[in-house]
Amino acid sequence: MESTRRDILLGGLALLGAGTFHKPVFAAAASYFAGTAIDNGVTFRTTNFARIDKQWRRQVVKYFSTEPIGTVVVDTRHHFLYVIMENKTAIRYGVGVGRDGFKWFGRATIDQKSLWPRWTPPSDMRKRHPELPEFVDGGSPKNPLGPRAMYLHRDGVDTGYRFHGTLEPGSIGKDASSGCIRMFNEDAIDLYQRCPIGTAVQVLPHIADQAPQVSEVTPVE
């Protein structure tokens, strides 16, 4: 597969000062951030939610599902992740999902979680992009996993897919990743707190077409 600008950003490469990208691209990317915060001793850039469409912001919605409370359901077509709650509601998060050729569907469980995880590019990604480093330390501003990673397993085997933060808030709501589910860093922190080890996950092509339309949503703090 051809190298794309998004792939290179995903790798967190130190090419930003090498003239590879034009200044307007940097300005657009920088505008998605607003200030900094400290989490577990690591300083990170916070999301400028004033630039984010309201549909991608974390919120409580009406949601009808036969899945048990606490299950995570991902609607890849509409770029939403739901945590099933009581009283036919769910917490809904906007997410970025796999681009064409990297989408996946099915059931899994969160069998591992990590604070400020180290990122090791998969071997197939390094074949496509040999310029990628062997790893990026957790907490590095170039680490594409951000502050949290939740590792998805099936039948005790790591699928290679994760829920994690992002260096690119503008990619939320898009088909942008190599299969992992991207979230705003603040949302990745929030989801991490809500999902214990063993949380059931279902990734579907689409489900929002069947969801009831609601006129109001309640933001989640």
Reply yes or no on whether the pLDDT at 170 is more than 60: yes
Q: pLDDT tens, 87-99?
A: 999 999 999 987 6
- Per-residue model confidence (pLDDT) at position 12: 36
Average pLDDT over every residue of 98-104? 59
User: What is the percent of the chain where pLDDT is above 90?
Assistant: 60
Sign of CA dihedral 221, 211, 55, 138: positive
**11 or 182, which is more confident:** 182
Give 185's pLDDT tier (boundaries 50, 70, 90).
Answer: very high
Residue 129 is a catalytic residue: no
pTM score of the predicted model: 0.79
Residue 195 is a catalytic residue: no
Instruction: Give the separation between CA 33 and CA 28, rounded to whole angstroms.
Output: 10
- Which range has the worst mean pLDDT, 5-9, 151-155, 186-190? 5-9
- Per-residue model confidence (pLDDT) at position 130: 85
Average pLDDT over every residue of 75-100? 91
Among 78, 79, 164, 195, the active-site one is: 164
Among 22, 78, 129, 180, the active-site one is: 180
